[in-house]
Structure 1
């Protein structure tokens, strides 16, 4: 009898340990380990750019673009329609909830938390407690859709994020200028900024495949304004002299000289 009681106690403990997961829609119990392994964080290609217009109580709508990076950093641009031309730009890091299905962005100005459910190619805005927003407004209005990323290199705003292996943090918020370039199809012109000075010139592009090709730049001309906050400017301008090829992965462009290590990386910026 004592052995039977002991066996029942062991079975109860095991059952309790297994019931720490979540239930599926059919009522099947999932272990916490299974739920974590098959979460949005681990199962979906969630890194990328999401855009949509969210409801607004006192404006025409909130045009929102969020870039989620694989290192859990983010960039966000918000445009309150009908409230002027100024856009709110911010960046930082986001957190995942314990299920790996939702992300939390903390508003630095108010210290409030904003929740988004991560779905297949979309983000769904939630309330301040991470729950579905109960409103008469259709739920589709709270969805930000992932932008389809093509492999076209021209007519895009390419923002510098890495230079000779070093991460570059530049923001148009701080100085009104950030290191970037645009390849214009018209007359093969390149325009951009070094983080301080405007630059311009021409380029030659030979597409080898959808994701890579050869590229050469003419000697670039630049304005001659002195800036104290763009220490990398000279190094940045030099990469265009030696660049010979490029590759694109998702929305990241890499420039190469002679080797297989990129001399610079850029990310496409869509909402301006």
Structure 2
């Protein structure tokens, strides 16, 4: 074999071995994680305005807050309205492989472990108040009041409504697995007389920690599971 040809062959073999070694190192350095994917996406800003998945990591969907996920998971076809449990391979990329304004980790779906309808989506409606702490709401003597309502808009993570006198709106910090948390509620300041219903509704809303839905009735409960407010689905 001529020296020039021999050198070319040796160079090719070195590059091939180096490439295989690099690929092998990437596989060795990768990890497998369990991802939970929320049933709804959220607006977010990465390199620019975009829509993000919400994820949690770990074997169980317990505690913690949903995190915005700015990257993509190769091989994963997301369908809104479902909670997913995924097995995902995370592979660190070398600098030369990282796309501009992209993630330094490559995420690849290994397997969909679970896919279930999200029961929290049943909240997504308008509800009319029927009871406070187990007592029926009676506004017949309060001509300046209206029937208290609450409305959930899960896609925007918002809650709004009225306490019979004043309107309120705020953020949904958590709505999952029977747990419910509101952010600070902004409320108008109209003065209403002849009933304690508005004040009782407001006080109860500030204590909400969970919910249950049954037979078109929404029950909001406190930390101990005691009923605070019960609403009826409007339509």
Q: Which has the larger radius of gyration?
A: 2
Q: Which has the higher strand share?
A: 2
TM-score normalized with structure 1 length: 0.39
Higher relative contact order (CA 8 A, sep 6+): 2
